[in-house]
Structures are given as C-alpha cells and as structure tokens.
Structure 1
Amino acid sequence: MMFIPFTGIDNHNRNVTLGAAILGSETAETYSWLLRAIKNAYGYAPPVIVTDQDPAMKRAIADVWPESRHRLCMWHIMDKLTTKVGAALCSNTDFRKRLSALVWTDSLLPEAFEAEWAAIIHDFGLTDHEWLTYIYGLRESWIPAYYREEEMSGLMRTSSRSESENHFFGKISNPKCTLVEFLSHFDTAIEAQRHEHRKNDHDTRYTNPGEWSDFVLEMQAAQIYTRTLFLDVQLEIQHAIHRCTSVRLDHVGDFIKFFIKDLDQPCSSFFEVMIREEDVTVKCICNRFEQFGLLCSHIFCVLRILDIREFPKQYILRRWTREAVPNSSPGSILTDGGDPDRSEEVNRCVREISHATEYVVNKLISKFDKLSDFRDHIKQFMSVADEAQINAPPKTRRNRFAELLGVAPESTATIRVPVGTRFKGCGSHKRLKSQKERAISQSGSKRRQCSLCKKYGHNRVTCWKYTVAGTEAGSSRNAGGNEDTIREGDAAMVVQGDGPGSNDDDDVF
C-alpha cells in the first residue's frame, strides 16, 4: 500500500504534517476520495498545492479542489531539460544558463517572460521542439511569473518539502513493516515533529536575538515574529539600511511614489514603492509581501525615510507570529457538569495560564528565592481549587470498563481487506532512477573485464567464446565418456539464459 503525507509550513517555516493516508492504488478515483476526506476534515481546500506531473493526481485535484491553484514542481521539469533537448546543446552553449535565469526568477512579469522565452527559442532554433512547446503551454502551472499575486506561492516552487518529508518518515520505517508497526512508527515520527515545534517555540519566547541596528521597527519585529522569520526580516532591514537608497519621489493623489535604487540588483531600473502616510498603506512592485507575507527591503527603506515608529499592523500575517500556534493545546477540560457552550473560552483561559506559568518559571529559573515564592503561591491556591471542585456524576459500568481496557467506542465503519496493487517504486527500498542518473552512476564504477576476449561486462565463466568452445569440447569428449562435459554444459545453459536488458525509462506526457 502507498503512504501519502500532506505537508505544509508552520510559523517557523518548517515542515509540518497536516494529514496522511494509506491507499491501495494510484487511480484518479482513489485520489478524489482522499482529497474529499481532507477537505471535509479541514473545512476548506488549500489555496496552493504542489505536486509532480502525475496525471491521476492532476485530474483528481481539478475535480475535487477546483478552487485550489495546482502548481507543478519546477525541479522535476527542469531536470529533464538535458535529456529532452540534448546534452550537446546544454553543454556547449549558454542555452541552459539563459533558460534557467528566465525560469527561476521572481522579478519578471508574464509579458516579459513570454518575450524572453520567444527570443531564446528563436536564437537556438527550437521553434518546433515538441517538449519545449509542451512545457511552454503549461507555463501558468509552474513559472513564478504567473504566481506573483498568489499568496504563499513563493515558498512552494518545488516538491522538495515533500521529498524531505519522505526522507523523514523513511528513517523510522521501511516497506517491510506491518500496518500496526507502521502506525506505531508514524506516531513516533509525529511526536518528534511536535517536539521540534515546541523547541522552536521555546527558543522564540525565551531567548533574545541579537540586534544589528537601532531601527525601532527591528526591535518591534523581534517581538512579533518567530525566531526563524525574524532573521529573514532582520536581513531585509539591514539590506534597506545599507544597500537601498531613494533616488526621487513623486506625488500621485494621496500616495507618495518612491523610486528606490537597490545596489545589489544588476538592473538599472528602480523599484517603485507607493505609500499613503495616513494609514501606512504601502505596496512595492517586487511583490514580496504578496508572495511571502513579509515586507521587502524597499518598503523598509521608505518607512525609515518617513520615520514610521510603529510596525504596520495590516502587514503582519498571523501565520508568521509567535502566537500562530497556541503555547499548549490541552483540549477541553470541561467535566460532565460543565457548560459545553463555554469550552472555547475555557480552553483559551487554560492556554493563557499555561503560557504565563511557563514564562514565569523560565524567567525565575536563576532566582531561587522568587521561584520558591511562586511555588508557595501556587500551592496555596490549590486549596481554593479543592473547595471549588465539582463532583462529576459517576461513570457507567460500560464506560469504566472501556476506560480500563482502552476500548474505543463502537464504530460502524467497514474495514475491507486491501487489494494488492503494484505502483511506482513498489518492491524497492530506493526511488526509481532515471536513465541519466544510471548512466552517471555507472560511468564512475569499475567494469568487469573478461580475461579471454578482453571485453567488458562479463568474466571468463560467462564469456561467449568460452561457452562455444566448452560446448564443442564437451560434445567431443562426451563421445569419449569424459565426465567433465556436465560442468561445461551447465555453464553454457546459464549463459544462454541471459540477454540484453531493456530500457523503458521514457517520460510519458
């Protein structure tokens, strides 16, 4: 059966498993069922999803998640460039360099991309190339120029996060595991992932990052964002201070247009930043905020020129902040006599208490006297909690036995025996290698040389000359009653069973 994890990005810009499934086949109907289950669990479909060029998955996403933007992995497409176009063209010319610079950049508009693509195709005489024409027809599904306004698309160009997640699960499991063993290993992997998230939360809350400047927005950003995201924002602020300068400005209605020169950019054009001072509405043509959810260095340069003293709240995405994920999620603690309508308020209060307790303990860890006073205060309040305790009604006999035995409530779900189906990579502990990768790996290995015919790929036991000679000699000696004929005849039979291997690793579109 096939394991399919859904990978997302948490507020530390780290991989997080949003869900997972085990499927028995890779058909469009199976993927459609899975996508509907994920949508029912979360209540909505993700805005962007990145996959490879699997036709069944593409059809299922179009049918079940039509509102989602399906993006193809750029690495999988560009990795086929040498194979499809030819090694001579990619090695002896600057074709690959020019095409890669065009494909991977975020600064081009769709019109500029199409014009430059046409120029490259014309210069190298590839106007009628079938594969290049095909991927150009899919340009809105993988070229960054067509995702400039798509939120979060800048963080997901390739399926490398999914490959990293596969490696993560591969370290704690293998294809020979039973279903029960795999689920146990899966729980262990998820717990390790949650532990890493809690560690990042702890480092964010109780360690102070180094400040590189006296810019007031930098100090505010350190208290807003998680540690990983703050380091990115800090680099943009430093770039705005040392590498960006305002050339001129114009007034356009209520807005002020700044022309910012970025000294690190080789182009001679300027970055235009529009800002309205009344409500600090700002926009840059680089579209970094629209893609990543973080302000760019050009905007920070303008905010510093205008002496803005408060970080614009409308440009703080909650998903990058410290409080995007609660400090603890104990779940509902309501007893049977509690009010279920107030469960959300109770859980929020519990999270605030947990956060405050953890904060005080970490701050007073080196001050034993004050830490002891805090402990005494907590113990003193325990008597108040005992007096306010509400006795819950006794549990039924069935519930007590179910709790002791760990038996889940009865379910009406029907579990069927999975149908054995072979799919991509089945029966192998490693991923399938392309023809190019196999050729590269074999080029550096020492090949076997025959001591009789001096050719490569076999030895003297399996040599054709040896086999033919052995067969003839065996026939002549067989008439004379020589017993060595049996061994040489066996060698001839083994060689006759071998044949040249076939290569069927062509891509199908």
Structure 2
Amino acid sequence: MRTLYGGFDKVGATKNDFKNFKRDLNRYISEFDADMMIKRLLRKKEYMPNFSMEYITDENGVLRGLFWADEDAKRNFCAWYNMMFVPFTGIDNHNRNVTLGAAIIGNKTAETYSWLLNVFRQAFGRAPPVIVTDQDPAMKKAIEDTWPESRHRLCMWHIMDKLSAKAGATICNNTDFKKRLCAIVWTDSILPVKFESEWATIMNDFNLVDHEWLQSLYQIRDTWIPAYYREEVISGLMRTSSRSESENHFFGQFCNPGCTLVEFLGHFDFAIEAQRHEHRKNEHDTRNTNAEIWAEDFVLEDQASRIYTRTIFFDQQLEIQNGIHRCAIGKWENMGDFVNFFVKDSEQPCTTFFEVMMREDDMTVYCTCKRFEHFGLLCSHIFCVLRMLDIREFPQRYILRRWTREAVPNSAPGAILGINETEDRYNEVNRVVREITYSTESVINQLVTNFDALCSFRDHVVNYFKTADGSVVNAPPKSRRERFAEITSNTKPSEATVRVPIGTRFKVG
C-alpha cells in the first residue's frame, strides 16, 4: 500500500488497522471457509470455458479433496503432457516450471490419491505416460490402480538423500563408496548390464551384499535408475521430483498454513498469473532478441536459433559447439542403407567411440549416447557428423515441437478456445491472436523512440478499452460486509454445505 500510494503517510491506515481488517475478514469467513471456496470454483466452472473442478467430502460433509484446472492449464498439458510430475507440475518450452492443475487434499491415503488421479484424467482426457513421485506407498498404489498405463518413476534425490543414514556416515564420508555409487546411479551413459556389474562390485568391495536397504533398492532398480529409462522418450528430464518441490516453494511465497481456504485461492490465482506472466516474458524475449551465433560457417546453428526458444537454443548451441571443438570422426563404414560413424568425444573418457548411424536419404540419424531420446535435443556427436557431411538444413524430424517458439500457439491470458475445439478452428483463432500480439509488439518496438507517436498509440488502445467498458455503471460505496463479500467472491451463506477439515495440514499439489 505504501508503494501504491507513494508513502506511509498517504496510506490512511496503520499496521494495526490492517491486522484488524484481516481479523474481521477471517471472522466473516469463519466456518463457511470451505463452502465459500467450493462455490467460488463452481461459479468459475459455470462461466469460464473449459474449466474443470471436482471435490469430495466425507459422510459428515467435511472436505476431503478438491481439484481444479483452467483452460490455460489444459492447453499446457496438451503441449507438454510428457513432462508430468506429481504434484501437477510440468516443463514448458523454455524448460521452466508450468502448473498443469492444482489440488488440496485432506489426507494422504490411497483412496484420496485415487480420487484425485481419476478427476485429473476426467479433466485432461488422459493420464501422462511417465510420472515421478517420492516413495509414498499410498501414491504408488493409487497410480497402479488408477493410471496403470503410466510409467511410474521414483525420485532419485529422495532415495540417495537417505544413503548416509541407511548405509552409515562412516562409510559414506571416509571412503569412496558414495562417490563410486553416485557414478553409476546418476549417469545416463551406461547400459543396465554395466550398472548391475558395477553395483555388484561396489557391494562386494564394501561388504554390503547383505545390506537390507541397499538390496531393496536394487530389487526396484528399474523404477529409479536412469540406465533402465534409456528407451523412454525424453525421460532424462524427469529424474527427481525437484520441480515439484520448487513449485511448492514458489506457492509457499504467496500463502502459509495459517491462511483460510478462500484466502489461499486468491493467493493461488495471483501466483498462477505471476507464473504465466514470466512465461509471456520469456516468449517476448525469444521473439525480440537475437542470440549470438558462434559458428558463422555452420548454418544449422543459425537455423536452430530461429527454431527453438532462447533458453533451449543455448542448450542446443552448446552441443553444436562441442560437436565442432570436442568431437572428431575416427572412421566410418557402410551398413546397408546406413553409414556408421565412430565419433571420439574428448570429454567422455567412459567410452572409446560413440556410434552415429546416418541415412542421408531421409535424414534418419541415431547416436548411442541417446541424448535425443533422453532430452529431445540432438547431441554433439550427431552435429559433428552433420557438419562433416555439410548438411545445410536442420533435420525436421528431430525438432520436437515442445521446445520450439510455436509450442503453444496462444499463450496470452483469456484464451477462448479449449482442447475440444476442431483443429482448424483452433489454428484459425490462434493465428489471428498471434498476428494481433506480434503486430502490437512490433508497433511498440518501432515507436519506442518516438514518444509522441507512442502516446498516440497508447491513447488509441485506451479509447478502445473505454468503448468496451462503456456499459459499466459506477456503484455506490460498499459497506465493510459488502467488501468482505467481494474479497471472498461470495456472500456469507446461511448454512455451510461443505465443512472445513479440522486439524488437517493440507498438501498443495
């Protein structure tokens, strides 16, 4: 308020006034907290296109679970559904967190989780192919029962964080046991047979063959070790649930366990808008800034700069540079329609050569490092081969849409089309929205040095807003009760139909 009004002396209220206002607001909400939140979301479901919301109560009407997702979240799921986590956090085309849905649950039972996963499927139309969670047994059972087609992967960080406590601080701190184990656990470059051989050697060297906890992890190695996910498309992005932990921290900055449900929903909406603003900023920076090209004689780098978002291009550019300066082709041999190139990588001593299989007729290419399969971006070894062959066009089949500038045709707020629209209609509307967005930004960029012209354009836009808002009638001053009703987006009901859980710490997802 100080920032808004220009000084503490201009606010017109003291710190205690604000505290008292918050106290009175909470008294107004009282036991109607959950009921107000439910009704607010039901109104969104009624008036907002493609908004999903479901909730569940116990026999006494106490809220057990609540899930909601708006149209933007669903469009994000369509574009990046391969990147699903639990809680419902994904990765956008800038390699940043994006929220795909939200839930509040009253307990962590398998029954509650199963309900939540079912309403998620109803909202989005399908389950994700791969998900990452911690070792919560209730979540494991719910996924097996509800999303049997999804590949359930355990968070590596949560497992390895327990290593010192389970194996012993002495062996972890005073020997190279932890270093050797991490070398085979965290790497993407070894095959399962190599992992199993190295694991057995380490266990023998440190007399841990009969260690109960370590053996239990070995028995479920295919659920958390990267070596067993080499065939899963871009699963390299999903080793841990750290993205979900980061997302929980992000929302934690806007709310706290002491806030009411109605207050939490307001904070959540604010946090989502902040996240989407950041995405729009990244989109703007991608379209309006030019990345520096390091290899002027390699046209694929310049093409990549125009294909990918800026963040992703920097990753791809690093692979291109490594292909030029770090890799060399030792030999090659014909194998039917393919040519097999043996590429030496000076910074990868773990293997003598990486093998790149190339069929130039249709630009089919494959590398034994499997970087494309893990991360959806071509590796330095492939770029080494492409440069030697003087390939002049970026291989189209290896451009994943999820990393491109056009991954989401319309990322602007308030989109009017949902995932059930026909593709032609969807593309048509988003083309117009895209043209308006780009044209507006282009005009601003051209006029930014001409203040008078910029003000004229501003006045034109403001006048259009006035035309759209012309039917709004100024209302008389509101009473405190009316302001409370406005803040909570609900009038206080005469009787609560959904009751607030007592003594439950909610988990936000």
What TM-score results when the alignment is normalised by the length of structure 1?
Answer: 0.72
Alpha-carbon spacing, 1:10–1:104, altered in 2? closer, same or farther (3 Å): same
Q: Output aligned runs, 1:125-140, within 5 Å.
A: 125-140=207-222
* Residue 209 (structure 1) aligned with residue 291 (structure 2): yes
Alpha-carbon spacing, 1:340–1:295, altered in 2? closer, same or farther (3 Å): closer
How far apart are 1:375 and its partner, in Å? 6.1
Once residues 83 and 425 of structure 1 are traced to their aligned partners in structure 2, the CA distance between those partners, rounded to angstroms, is 26
Residue aligning to 1:56: 138
**Secondary structure of the corresponding residue to residue 25 of structure 1:** coil
* Residue 262 (structure 1) aligned with residue 342 (structure 2): no
How far apart are 1:82 and its partner, in Å? 1.1
Once residues 427 and 184 of structure 2 are traced to their aligned partners in structure 1, the CA distance between those partners, rounded to angstroms, is 52
**Number of residue pairs matched by the alignment:** 393
Does the 8 Å CA contact 2:65/2:116 hold for their aligned counterparts? Answer: no
**Secondary structure of the corresponding residue to residue 205 of structure 1:** helix
Residue aligning to 1:301: 384
Residue aligning to 1:222: 305
Which of 173, 184, 190 is the aligned partner of 2:266? 184
How far apart are 1:371 and its partner, in Å? 6.8
Which of 80, 89, 108 is the aligned partner of 1:26? 108
Once residues 175 and 2 of structure 1 are traced to their aligned partners in structure 2, the CA distance between those partners, rounded to angstroms, is 16
Once residues 182 and 427 of structure 2 are traced to their aligned partners in structure 1, the CA distance between those partners, rounded to angstroms, is 52
Amino acid at match of 2:390: D
Which of 332, 344, 349 is the aligned partner of 2:416? 332
Once residues 364 and 419 of structure 1 are traced to their aligned partners in structure 2, the CA distance between those partners, rounded to angstroms, is 56
How far apart are 1:125 and its partner, in Å? 1.3
Which of 71, 74, 93 is the aligned partner of 2:153? 71
Residue aligning to 2:40: none
Residue aligning to 2:282: 200
Once residues 340 and 269 of structure 1 are traced to their aligned partners in structure 2, the CA distance between those partners, rounded to angstroms, is 51
How far apart are 1:344 and its partner, in Å? 3.0
Once residues 264 and 226 of structure 1 are traced to their aligned partners in structure 2, the CA distance between those partners, rounded to angstroms, is 27
Once residues 235 and 342 of structure 1 are traced to their aligned partners in structure 2, the CA distance between those partners, rounded to angstroms, is 37
How far apart are 1:10 and its partner, in Å? 0.4
Deviations 1:458-490 (A, max 9, x none): xxxxxxxxxxxxxxxxxxxxxxxxxxxxxxxxx
Does the 8 Å CA contact 1:149/1:290 hold for their aligned counterparts? Answer: yes
Residue aligning to 2:328: 245
Residue aligning to 1:283: 366
How far apart are 1:224 and its partner, in Å? 0.4
How far apart are 1:349 and its partner, in Å? 3.8
Once residues 195 and 297 of structure 1 are traced to their aligned partners in structure 2, the CA distance between those partners, rounded to angstroms, is 34
Once residues 340 and 294 of structure 1 are traced to their aligned partners in structure 2, the CA distance between those partners, rounded to angstroms, is 30
Does the 8 Å CA contact 1:328/1:354 hold for their aligned counterparts? Answer: no
**Secondary structure of the corresponding residue to residue 114 of structure 2:** helix
Amino acid at match of 1:28: A
Alpha-carbon spacing, 1:159–1:342, altered in 2? closer, same or farther (3 Å): closer
Alpha-carbon spacing, 1:407–1:83, altered in 2? closer, same or farther (3 Å): closer
Once residues 268 and 148 of structure 1 are traced to their aligned partners in structure 2, the CA distance between those partners, rounded to angstroms, is 17
Deviations 1:119-152 (A, max 9, x none): 1111111111111110001101100000111123
Does the 8 Å CA contact 2:107/2:506 hold for their aligned counterparts? Answer: no
Deviations 1:386-443 (A, max 9, x none): 9xxxxxxxxxxxxxxxxxx9999xxxxx9532443646999xxxxxxxxxxxxxxxxx
How far apart are 1:368 and its partner, in Å? 4.3
* Residue 93 (structure 1) aligned with residue 175 (structure 2): yes
Once residues 303 and 344 of structure 1 are traced to their aligned partners in structure 2, the CA distance between those partners, rounded to angstroms, is 36
Amino acid at match of 2:446: L
Amino acid at match of 1:302: V
Alpha-carbon spacing, 1:332–1:126, altered in 2? closer, same or farther (3 Å): closer
Q: Output aligned runs, 1:394-409, within 5 Å.
A: none
Does the 8 Å CA contact 1:327/1:355 hold for their aligned counterparts? Answer: no
Deviations 1:220-275 (A, max 9, x none): 00000001000000000010000000000000001000000001112351000000
Q: CA RMSD in A?
A: 3.1
Alpha-carbon spacing, 1:369–1:2, altered in 2? closer, same or farther (3 Å): closer
Once residues 194 and 293 of structure 2 are traced to their aligned partners in structure 1, the CA distance between those partners, rounded to angstroms, is 39
Once residues 284 and 260 of structure 2 are traced to their aligned partners in structure 1, the CA distance between those partners, rounded to angstroms, is 36
What TM-score results when the alignment is normalised by the length of structure 2?
Answer: 0.72
**Secondary structure of the corresponding residue to residue 176 of structure 1:** coil
Amino acid at match of 2:318: L
**Secondary structure of the corresponding residue to residue 323 of structure 1:** coil
* Residue 356 (structure 1) aligned with residue 473 (structure 2): no
Residue aligning to 1:433: none
Task: Provide runs of 4+ in structure 1 moved above 4 Å.
Answer: 1-5, 339-343, 366-372, 405-408, 421-426
Does the 8 Å CA contact 2:104/2:507 hold for their aligned counterparts? Answer: no
Once residues 174 and 323 of structure 1 are traced to their aligned partners in structure 2, the CA distance between those partners, rounded to angstroms, is 36
Does the 8 Å CA contact 1:24/1:420 hold for their aligned counterparts? Answer: no
Amino acid at match of 2:384: C
How far apart are 1:67 and its partner, in Å? 1.0
Alpha-carbon spacing, 1:367–1:250, altered in 2? closer, same or farther (3 Å): same
**Secondary structure of the corresponding residue to residue 364 of structure 1:** helix
Amino acid at match of 2:406: E
Once residues 126 and 82 of structure 1 are traced to their aligned partners in structure 2, the CA distance between those partners, rounded to angstroms, is 14
Pick 1 or 2: higher relative contact order, CA cutoff 8 A, min separation 6. 2
Residue aligning to 1:336: none
**Secondary structure of the corresponding residue to residue 16 of structure 1:** strand
Does the 8 Å CA contact 2:367/2:382 hold for their aligned counterparts? Answer: yes
Structure number with bigger Rg: 1
Does the 8 Å CA contact 2:257/2:505 hold for their aligned counterparts? Answer: no
Which of 92, 107, 110 is the aligned partner of 2:192? 110
How far apart are 1:332 and its partner, in Å? 3.3
How far apart are 1:217 and its partner, in Å? 0.4
Alpha-carbon spacing, 1:258–1:370, altered in 2? closer, same or farther (3 Å): farther
Does the 8 Å CA contact 1:72/1:141 hold for their aligned counterparts? Answer: yes
Once residues 425 and 342 of structure 1 are traced to their aligned partners in structure 2, the CA distance between those partners, rounded to angstroms, is 40
Alpha-carbon spacing, 1:407–1:78, altered in 2? closer, same or farther (3 Å): closer
Once residues 238 and 186 of structure 1 are traced to their aligned partners in structure 2, the CA distance between those partners, rounded to angstroms, is 42
